[in-house]
Structure 1
Amino acid sequence: MSDKKAVILLSGGLDSATVVAMAKADGYSCYTMSFDYGQRHRSELQAAERVARQLGVVEHKVIGLNLNGMGGSALTDASIAVPENAAGAAPAPGIPVTYVPARNTVFLSLALGWAEVLGARDIFIGVNAVDYSGYPDCRPEFVEAFERMANLATKAGVEGNGFRIQAPLQNMSKAEIVAAGIALGVDYAQTVSCYQADDDGRACGKCDSCSLRAAGFAAAGVADATRYV
């Protein structure tokens, strides 16, 4: 096991699975973290556990939160419908109702705490600024700002053992992400990206996440590994 440790946010989706494979290929001992935050379905948590096993992480941790207590997002409030698109249609512009207020800020903060406990200096997140759904907490400016905060807010940072927030997918297209993951042996059939997957992890094929994922497989010239309803 490498002495070079990384904490990686693992949602169970295509992007985060690829990030775990990238970190492992770069020689990190990988510690993955998922969140049971009141999302619409638990199938993504089951997918995260499968991905963690397949990619051989050192430890996989699931943290319970109650973001559905605040609501404000179609992913945490059942009264807000998940937008659906016609087949092949691009997601609508602007910040969609699937944005979960402060989600990546909260998730990265908890990953930062675990990283400090583990003595890890690198935290990986699968945000993307090219093929993304309009979320403000996926932008490079957010990642850079969080890294600055992390090194001001922690004992390790103040003592000069600073943290790096790594977002290796930041400037990659979805097709490039798929191609990279395939090359690293990611089994995308184990992942769940859909905003409203059923209890068996089958995707709706109509939400923004499904549209972006399907387009990525098509552009990469790779058979779509997604299981659809």
Structure 2
Amino acid sequence: MNAADAANAVVLLSGGLDSATTLAIARSRGFRCHCLSLDYGQRHRVELTAARRVAASLEAAAHRMLQLDLAAFGGSALTDENIAVPTGGLAPGIPVTYVPARNTIMLALALAWAEVLGACDIFVGVNAVDYSGYPDCRPEFIRAFEAMANLATKAAAEGRYLHLHAPLIDLSKAEIIRLGSGLGVDYALTVSCYQADEAGRACGVCESCRLRRAGFVAAGIPDPTPYLAAPAA
């Protein structure tokens, strides 16, 4: 199949490790990938620069950046500067880095673009194994959103049903890294840290840094992440 004949897909691209791997997977399946990133007022906005690098590296057909200020609501350490990002390790329960309704909003925007493109496929890099307790990363949520989308759109009413792909949902971080490495993902281009500086250097101690670092160790692959401090165990 040549590029002109490939089916369109919308891929949510944050600029982090998981979304970069998801883009590589969608590309490997023959889709023309239209990447969507959201500037939602996150404190780690440098991830958006990473998203541009990743989209270019993996030859996305298009990349759009939308602005939606979820910081106006706050309620998360990622959107409210008055709430500290936890650095003491992973704790039980839903962490303060959970952003209310973020994945629901992002998927709704992806759905809108998919309808315009005539795309029946959306890819999202949520993960229910090495995740941080976020309720909108669970398989139940993915199934429910797909069902809702197929009730809510003109495309579905006309028989063109949406498929919501979450190819990382059951993988460990190490499995994700091995898979992405095999598909040519350059993880040095990605930013996962919740409080990375403007140069993209990671703090090494937030929950996202801990999961990322542990994944590279378990995968037996060198970690290309520039850390401001020695990575926490």
TM-score by length of 2: 0.95
Offset at residue 93 of structure 1 (A):
1.0
Deviation at 1:5, TM superposition (A): 1.0
Matches within 5 A, 1:55-74: 55-74=58-77
1:129 aligned residue: 128
**Map of 1:1-229 to 2, 5 A cutoff?**
1=3, 2-85=5-88, 89=89, 91-229=90-228
Deviations 1:26-57 (A, max 9, x none): 10000000000000032100000000000000
Give the deviation of 1:3 after TM superposition.
Answer: 2.8
Gaps (5+ residues) in structure 1?
none
Listed one character per residue, the Cα deviations across residues 80-138 of structure 1 (whole Å, up to 9, x for unaligned) are 000003xxx5x111100000000000000000000000011000000000000000000
Count of paired positions: 225
- Which residue identity is paired with 2:49? Q
Structure 2 unaligned residues grouped into runs of 5+: 229-233
Query: Over the residues paired in the alignment, what is the CA RMSD in angstroms?
Result: 0.7
Contact preservation (8 Å) 2:6, 2:30:
no
Moved over 6 A (4+): none
**What is the one-letter code of the residue matched to 2:31?**
Y
- Could you tell me how far apart the structure 1 residues matched to 2:8 and 2:132 are? 30
Distance 1:82 1:157 in 2: 41
- Counterpart amino acid of 1:205? G
User: Quick one: distance in 2 between partners of 1:157 and 1:109?
Assistant: 15
TM-score, with normalisation over the residues of structure 1?
Answer: 0.97
| Residue aligned with 2:41, SS | coil
Q: Following the alignment from structure 1 to structure 2, what is the Cα–Cα distance between the partners of residues 218 and 157?
A: 44
Q: Aligned partner of 1:46: which letter?
A: T
**Identity rate, percent:** 65
Distance in 2, matches of 1:41 and 1:149, equals 31
Question: Larger deviation: 97-106 or 2-11?
Answer: 2-11
Paired amino acid for 1:5: N
